[in-house]
Amino acid sequence: MINSHQFQQAAKQFRAGRISLKEFTDLVIHNQPTRKPNEAAANSKGSESGSPSPVDKSELTPLGISPRAVDSHKGDFGRVLAIGGSTGMAGAIGLTGMAALRSGAGLVRAMVPHEIQTVVSGWSPCLMTVGVDSNNGQIGTGGGLAIESQRAWADAIAIGPGMGRSGDLNQWVSEVYRDAEEPMVVDADALNALAESNASLEAHAGSRVLTPHPGEFQRLAGTNSTDRRELEDRAKQMATDASIVIVLKGSRTYVTDGNLDYRNSSGNPGMATAGSGDVLTGVIAALLGQGMSALDAAVTGVFLHGNAGDVAADSTGQTSVLATDILESLSVAFKKQVKVSEKAIGF
């Protein structure tokens, strides 16, 4: 049997049409895993006898976004807990929270230091916030943090944007990474915390998506290499060893779970701007909260984020793209992806 969180995630995938009734029943009753990402598409190309063919890595593609059922409610689309922010960096976690909302999350709560709670809540009345005790303007790590109750509320967690760095915070992030059963996107200062605390990336209670830029990945991997191919090879091996998904950002962002690979085709150089990665973190977290697997959420999130950047660049020109432009363009990117899904199922 599976636990309540796993049941909720499976139910969301079934309602969204990503798994069949048989797969849902097998998972809930017999604890059998659902299909791997893109497995159904690959199997459809097998022999006439019905025997499955191997997954073709070149066919790993972003998923369509299913149209919403007419009787949907906000509880169907996931609760995202965004953890981060610090004095002078309230914008980072604000971007993440708003991106999660724009990406379809039913509810988003930003967990931030008391000092910046008002600033973060000012992004939108749709964004919930919870202020916690702090230390030097960063999230404190004392007994009043109550991370367990916040985790219990969430279907997915995004951690790191604007968080800041300290020895105590490094240890706390490592413990949250290890203990949280909820799927989690780890970005920015949370990645640095894992690197600086020498955390075991293999030790985690739930699915994990790490979204480093090359410098953050160098720290995680303990390498000074700047060769893109070598970094991708190391990312693939790290993903294999730790059973995680790695999103190595950059031109043609590389996504891997150690088995399947994806190089993104959307996006443009104008997206090399402060806050762009914080938006991506929110997109992926929202897709996780809506029941996508870690790999599907990463691949689809990266593609949609790049599409939003292309829409923004068409409007402003690449030189003038801001992260807020990418954020506001997510609606167009998602609308296009819903149409892809509608076409695929014959609407």
Q: Three-class SS string for the chain?
A: CCCHHHHHHHHHHHHCCCCCHHHHHHHHHHCCCCCCCCHHHHHCCCCCCCCCCCCCHHHCCCCCCCCCCCCCCHHHHCEEEEECCCCCCHHHHHHHHHHHHHCCCCEEEEEEEHHHHHHHHCCCCCCEEEEECEECCEECCCHHHCHHHHHHHCCEEEECCCCCCCHHHHHHHHHHHHHCCCCEEECHHHHHHHHHCCCCCCCCCCCEEECCCHHHHHHHHCCCCCCHHHHHHHHHHHHHHHCCEEEECCCCCEEECCCCEEECCCCCHHHCCCCHHHHHHHHHHHHHHCCCCHHHHHHHHHHHHHHHHHHHHHHHCHHHCCHHHHHHHHHHHHHHHHHHHHHHCCC
67 located within any domain: no
pLDDT for residue 173:
96
- What pLDDT digit, counting tens, does each position of 267-302 carry? 999 999 999 999 999 999 999 999 999 999 999 999
pLDDT for residue 272:
97
Mean pLDDT of the 185-212 span = 97
Assess whether pLDDT exceeds 80 at residue 18: no
Q: Which residue has the higher pLDDT, 34 or 337?
A: 337
Are 9 and 91 in the same domain?
A: no
Confidence category of residue 65, pLDDT binned at 50, 70, 90: confident
Assess whether pLDDT exceeds 80 at residue 341: no
Mean pLDDT of the 97-105 span = 98
Interatomic CA distance for residues 150 and 83, integer angstroms = 10
The least confident of 25-39, 55-69, 132-146 is 25-39
Confidence category of residue 69, pLDDT binned at 50, 70, 90: confident
Mean pLDDT of the 203-232 span = 97
Confidence category of residue 22, pLDDT binned at 50, 70, 90: low
Q: Tell which residue, 72, 143, 92, 83, has the closest CA to residue 113.
A: 83
65 located within any domain: no
CATH number at residue 308: 3.40.1190.20
Are 306 and 186 in the same domain?
A: yes
Are 123 and 16 in the same domain?
A: no
Are 89 and 10 in the same domain?
A: no
Are 89 and 219 in the same domain?
A: yes
The least confident of 21-25, 290-294, 331-335 is 21-25
pLDDT for residue 43:
32
Domain count, the chain: 2
Q: Tell which residue, 139, 81, 134, has the closest CA to residue 110.
A: 81
The least confident of 4-18, 73-87, 316-330 is 4-18
- What pLDDT digit, counting tens, does each position of 160-169 carry? 999 999 999 9
Are 122 and 245 in the same domain?
A: yes
Are 181 and 326 in the same domain?
A: yes
Cβ atoms < 10 Å from Cβ of 183: 27
64 located within any domain: no
pLDDT for residue 3:
54
pLDDT for residue 20:
55
Confidence category of residue 28, pLDDT binned at 50, 70, 90: low
58 located within any domain: no
Are 146 and 4 in the same domain?
A: no
- What pLDDT digit, counting tens, does each position of 225-270 carry? 999 999 999 999 999 999 999 999 999 999 999 999 999 999 999 9
Are 222 and 151 in the same domain?
A: yes
Confidence category of residue 130, pLDDT binned at 50, 70, 90: very high
If you average pLDDT over every residue of the chain, what do you get?
86
Cβ atoms < 10 Å from Cβ of 80: 32
346 located within any domain: no
Are 124 and 9 in the same domain?
A: no
pLDDT for residue 67:
85
Interatomic CA distance for residues 247 and 257, integer angstroms = 9
* Domain that residue 246 falls in: 74-341
Q: Is 323 left (phi over 0), alpha (psi -120 to 50) or beta?
A: alpha
Assess whether pLDDT exceeds 80 at residue 132: yes
15 located within any domain: yes
Assess whether pLDDT exceeds 60 at residue 342: no
Task: Report pTM.
Answer: 0.84
Are 95 and 176 in the same domain?
A: yes
pLDDT for residue 66:
83
Considering 43-52, 184-193, 333-342, the range whose residues carry the highest mean pLDDT is: 184-193
248 located within any domain: yes
Assess whether pLDDT exceeds 80 at residue 39: no
288 located within any domain: yes
Are 189 and 314 in the same domain?
A: yes
